[in-house]
Chains A and B, each alone.
Chain A
Amino acid sequence: MERRPGGEANIRTGEKVMTRPRTHPIRRYRRRALALALLGGIAGLTLLAPWLATADPRHAVPADQWLAPSAAHPFGTDHLGRDVFSRVLYGGRQTLAMGLLALGITLGPGLVMGLVAGYAGRWVDRALMTVMDALLAIPSLLLALALIVVLGSGTTQAALAVGIAGIPVYARVTRAAALEARALPHIEAARSIGVRPVGILGRHILPVIRPVLLSFAGVTFGWALLNGAALMFLGYGGDIAAPDWGVMLAGAREAFRSAPWAAVAPGVALSLTVFATNLLASSFNGSRASK
């Protein structure tokens, strides 16, 4: 564990651990409110897609190819004459679901390994973290790409690949936090009176490091969205007719000179979601998302 000036913790993985909130609480809550409003709005729109959409997102009308935005098609139509507005609404479902699935896959093993390594220390820590370092040394998108070779194409597989690629970073962050929490006086005390490790981890350490874990979960979700969309963009997603922001961006690129609008809506939706996620993450412990 390296200590850096100003209470900074390990920045090898870019995380800030246990940093006292520097941002004013009110500003933090405002930030969290804005982030939640944005995310809630996006999630709401995608959930309400069946009622809000003006057209079947998969229904191709070849005659309506590349129509510019109009009252009938607020965001225009794409290269197969599908309504971009409806596709963006429905597209959020798959993109967000993929992000959530990837997040879940990252969180479980990441959390467990991080806690175990951080709490057990010694050779367990050393062994686990060396493996994590090895994975960490492979850039996450490259790791996801290598995994997709093993797993094959498909939406679930892409989410799996992205999720697995996120594990080492999350494990490292958790471990760093747990390590620091372990040294806190009341936890030391609990250990010395012989409380079982599971109890200590669950009842004492987890609550202390929750802000860090939540914050970094937000950051991880943002990465998962971007990397997941990247895999869809590169064509590893299986069902390509599915409305999905990454797929839409890839399709729109083929015709971006005839119909640039087809790339704008999914791009903005994706960026906005990731932005809101990062904002939410930063509101948990005052440090902003950092890679």
Chain B
Amino acid sequence: MIPILVQRLGAALVVAWLALTLVFVALRWIPGDAVDATLARGITSEADIAARRDALGLNDPIPRQYFDYLGGVLHGDWGESLVYGQPVTDIIAQNIGPTAALALGALLLGSTLGITLGILAGLSHWPPLRYGAEAAASLALATPVYWTATLAIYLFSVQFDLLPGVGASGARNLVLPVLVLGFHTAGSIAHVTASAVKETAQGDFVRTARAKGLPTPDVLDHILRVGLLPVVAVIALQFGFLLGGTVITETIFARRGLGRVLLRAISDRDYPVIQGVIVLSALAYSLINALADVLYTWIDPRINSHTEGR
């Protein structure tokens, strides 16, 4: 148990370090940078711009910039925003709450809805219900967030004045974004659940149980016990999708959060902030998946014996 945990967490850290390096290298290729973005807005001279670039270390050789940055990250110093002059860790700390609330809310709704739809699509014997659930899941996979978000605002806020369409604070303002993002999360969870429970239902144990005439609830319990195993991992994987989804959801619903911080940083070429947000999301994603792996092994020790490599 513990060795697996250590091994997985170690792998997660390596992955996060590699992600950081890739992003760092990629970002240095670009022409134009944050100094052009901010300084040139005012009336300043070319000499001022050059001086500012120097002061920010943008003229240092790239390997030096990289090791400076890496050293800082290890000491909890993720650099300062080139534009805001604020420590990146502060910016992240100030914005992580609303994003986490949105992502968690969507994950909760998505898991509940997804598992329900999946069970219905996988096990229901009544075709309309089965096809209905399947269709809902497919729809969730096939519609882009920015479209459903617009429709949701139009329906719930403009046509029927039920919920605030946009806004940053408070629980009421969270309802629509969570609904929209949660709906999309449900799609893939439902698909995996459906095929997993369907497969279990066709397994030998269930057939035997049915043949013996065991009461349905027990059979169902067994199907879910085994069938929902892969769902745990898929829910963890959804975190990646959610972090991407918050970028658009936060923009459309005028919410505060890391997604908007990232979009803004991209248009300002604010390297330390882009790096910070991406590394954070890579770290969160790989840690959560490492934990899911460990949880998985814990639930079903059979897997352990088959595990090789990674």
Contacts and interface: CB of A to CB of B under 8 A. Distances in A.
Interface of A: 1-8, 11-14, 16, 22, 126, 129-131, 133-142, 145-150, 222, 226, 229-230, 233-234, 249-250, 252-253, 256-257, 260, 263, 267, 270-272, 274-275, 278-279, 287-291
8 contacts: A22-B198, A133-B18, A141-B244, A142-B247, A142-B262, A230-B145, A252-B150, A291-B241
B192 to A, nearest CB: 5
Given A6-B200, A12-B289, A271 B243 contact: no
Interface of B: 11, 14-19, 21-23, 26-27, 29-30, 138-139, 141-147, 150-151, 153-154, 158, 187-188, 191-192, 194-196, 198-200, 202-203, 226, 229-230, 233-234, 237-238, 240-245, 247-248, 251-252, 262-263, 266, 269, 274, 277-278, 281-283, 285-286, 289, 300, 302-303, 306-310
A229 B148 CA distance: 14
B186 to A, nearest CB: 11
A146 B308 contact: no
A275 B230 contact: no
Contacts of A222: 141-142
Contacts, number: 195
A142 B243 contact: yes
B147 A256 contact: no
B247 A291 contact: no
A229 B27 CA distance: 23
Nearest to A229: B144
B131 to A, nearest CB: 12
Contact of B195 (A16, A270, A279): A16
Contacts of A13: 237
Given A271-B147, A275-B139, A278-B138, A257 B278 contact: no
Contact of A150 (B30, B200, B202, B245): B30
A260 B241 contact: no
Contacts of B18: 130-131, 133-134
Given A5-B302, A22-B202, A149-B269, A288 B22 contact: no
A124 B269 CA distance: 35
Nearest to B230: A11
Contacts of B22: 131, 134-135
B60 to A, nearest CB: 20
Contacts of B237: 12-14, 291
B56 to A, nearest CB: 18
A226 B139 CA distance: 13
